[in-house]
Structure 1
């Protein structure tokens, strides 16, 4: 089942509707892949399952704070139970600074404080002077291309063994290749948009900050 019937999350949240639409869209891509590329069927199904679980856990993690706040205000067992269930489902207690900046980072979670710190470092330096982490490795993992699931290269290191490729539409593999060629962020952004599908500056900055936070890129003094 896909769509509404296959993507139930929470009847009190409008996010459940958005999630249902996204689930139906992704399921259509998986079915299309199975029809035109049978050997990719199992990998496509695993991709769908992993994505569903990842989004569910992400939602539970972010919703725990809301339920905890409601429980403290109203003091009703209903909200306390919801908060406890959300924490248990997410596998961790939500923090006060959680964000959904990188909610579309497939299967990988990068601490938002690290992303913010990386962004502040980028803003504070006169010249970016970046280089690719020499410990980076490249692996192949399932990813979406057009209307099918294909095997694409992902960047991997010891901290993120599942691999990383896209954040907010920014291709991190291409970004890691381009960033060391420029010293100014606007030049990197322009260079990226000339070679890849254009992205907005806010999304690009999140992608660049994530690349540093994840250890894909390093400053020259690191």
Structure 2
């Protein structure tokens, strides 16, 4: 489960309905894909001229406005993440015990990872998990994706479990990215189900590209 920008300056988000109709990219950046998801979320994927080769960025917007900004490398490692609603950021620690590797997943059908992120706000978090290709391909809005299963656990510095999550996601070999799917997350003894599957893929010059307004599954309570 790997779904992190040299950070944009962000104020507290307005609601998506009240905000501008189009997301404004940082200067020097170019977007190549907008994804409308099933759970009232729209994601924008883009690259920036000053980033190292292979770096990708993503922002996520839901009914409340901008909720996430992040940067991944070509192996889909979480390089930086900014969680707007909680106000905390995370960055990948150097020399992970077992780096996440999209290449290993594609070549071997399985990828184990064990890495830590550092945060000035919440401290160190260790993530341990596994992604596996199921062998099944699905086509959504004309895009062929490979289905995965994932199992991930987050630990605090004392080794206590913060949360656990299992389910299915997708990878795009062409874009070298993970896309959300379905699953369950357990936090503090409570388990929550999610369905974040992509519904629409929108490209530059198409209607809805860089829209700041999610379309699908909106109007329900967000936990």
- TM-score (structure 2 length as normaliser): 0.26
Q: Could you say which structure has the higher strand fraction?
A: 2
Q: Which has the higher contact order (CA 8 A, sep 6+)?
A: 2
Query: Which structure has the greater CA radius of gyration?
Result: 1
Q: Could you say which structure has the higher helix fraction?
A: 1
